[in-house]
Amino acid sequence: MKRATLGHQLRILNAECGRFSDTATAEIEKLGDVTHVEADRDYLLQNIENYEVIIIALRNTIDREILDRAGKLRFIVTPTTGHNHIDCVSSQEKNIQIISLRGETKFLESITATAELSWGLLLSLIRHIPSAYDDVLSGRWDRNKYYGNELNGKTLGIIGYGRLGKMVGRYGRAFGMSILAHDQKKIPKESETEFVSLDELLARSDVVTLHLPLNKDTYGMLDTLCFQKIKQHAIFINTARGEIVNEGALIEALKTGKVAAAATDVLADEVSIMENWLQNSKLANYARDHPNLIITPHIGGLTYESVEQTNNFIIHSLKHFLRTQKIL
C-alpha cells in the first residue's frame, strides 16, 4: 500500500490502484490526500468512513452496507458504463455523486476493446479454438475433431445498435456477413444494416450478439420465449450484462441444441458479495462439462489501451466536477 499526501486535503481512496499507470496515479495525487490500495470488501467496510472519494472499477460491489459506513463520501468514481456494482438508490439518498463513463458517447467511440472481444469469442466458438488448444496440450493432434463454420454469407443479428453494436456490425461486414439490428431507441438508418423487430432478428440470425445497457427495461429481456424464437443452431454472444439474460433459459437452449453455442463475458451474479457465488453459478457449472459455452471474467474493457484511456478520462471528469460542480 502506498500513501501520498499532496495539495489540499480531499481524502481519496484509490481502491483498485493496480490498474493505474504512474502517469494516471500522479494525476490523482494532485487532487489531495490519496490512499492507493488493492482493497477488498473487509478493507472498505473498515476504512470507507475516512474518505470523501472512492475510485473503483468492478472488483468491489458498493452496496448499502458500505455506503451506510461512508459518512464523508461525496464521490464514487468508476471507469465503467454500467452501474450494477453500485447501489445507485442509496448513493442518491446520501447525495453521493457517481462519476462514470455512462453517457460519454463521443469519448467511448474510440474505445473498441469490448467489441473486439465479442468478435474473439465468436471466432473461438465457431472454430472450437479453446477445445482444440486444450487437445494439443493434452498430447493429441486430431484435426478432424474440429470442423468449424465460416462467417462469410451468414447473418449477424445485433441487439442494441449503439456504439458497440455499430462496431460489431462493421466487423461483421468485413467478414462478409449480412447485418440485422434491433434497438429500442430510434437511431439513424444505415444502408448496409437492416433494422427489424426483435422477433425477426432472432428468427433470421445465425449469430446473435447482445450490446444493451442494463436497466429496468432490459433486465431479464432475453427470456425463455426469446430463446424459443431464436433460429435453430444459432450462436449467442453476450458482452453486455449478465442480468439481461435469463441464464436458465440459455442453458435449456444450449442443452436442446436450439442454441448451438454461446459465449458470455458477464454473469448475473458477478456483483454478488458471496465468496462462493461462482461455484453456485448455473452457467459456470454448465460450462465445466459442456464445450458449447465459453465464459470469460468480464474482460471486455480490459486492454492496456482502453484502461489507460478510461482511467485518464474519469480523473479528468472528477477534476472538472470539483472545479465546476458539473459533469463533463
Tens-place pLDDT, residues 33-70: 999 999 999 999 999 999 999 999 999 999 999 999 99
pLDDT average, residue stretch 13-32:
95
- Is the pLDDT confidence value at 153 over 60? yes
- Is the pLDDT confidence value at 229 over 70? yes
> Is residue 241 annotated as part of the catalytic site, yes or no?
yes
Catalytic residue among 19, 36, 83, 298: 298
Comparison of pLDDT for 325 and 12, the residue scoring more: 12
**What is the pLDDT, as a whole number, of residue 3?**
45
- Is the pLDDT confidence value at 92 over 80? yes
Residue 328's pLDDT band (cuts 50, 70, 90): low
pLDDT average, residue stretch 195-200:
96
Which of 73-77, 140-144, 182-186, 297-301 comes out lowest in average pLDDT?
Answer: 182-186
Residue 100's pLDDT band (cuts 50, 70, 90): very high
C-alpha grid cell, residue 207: 449469430
Residue 189's pLDDT band (cuts 50, 70, 90): confident
pLDDT average, residue stretch 101-113:
93
> Is residue 298 annotated as part of the catalytic site, yes or no?
yes
pLDDT average, residue stretch 145-174:
97
Catalytic residue among 182, 241, 243, 247: 241
Residue 325's pLDDT band (cuts 50, 70, 90): confident
- Indicate the pTM of the whole model: 0.92
Q: For all residues of the chain together, what is the average pLDDT?
A: 94
Residue 180: closest CA among 166, 164, 193: 193
φ, ψ at 194 (rounded to 5°):
-100, 120
- Is the pLDDT confidence value at 195 over 50? yes
**What is the pLDDT, as a whole number, of residue 147?**
97
**pLDDT, tens digit (0-9, with 9 covering 90-100), for 296-324:** 999 999 999 999 999 999 999 999 999 88
**What is the pLDDT, as a whole number, of residue 4?**
45
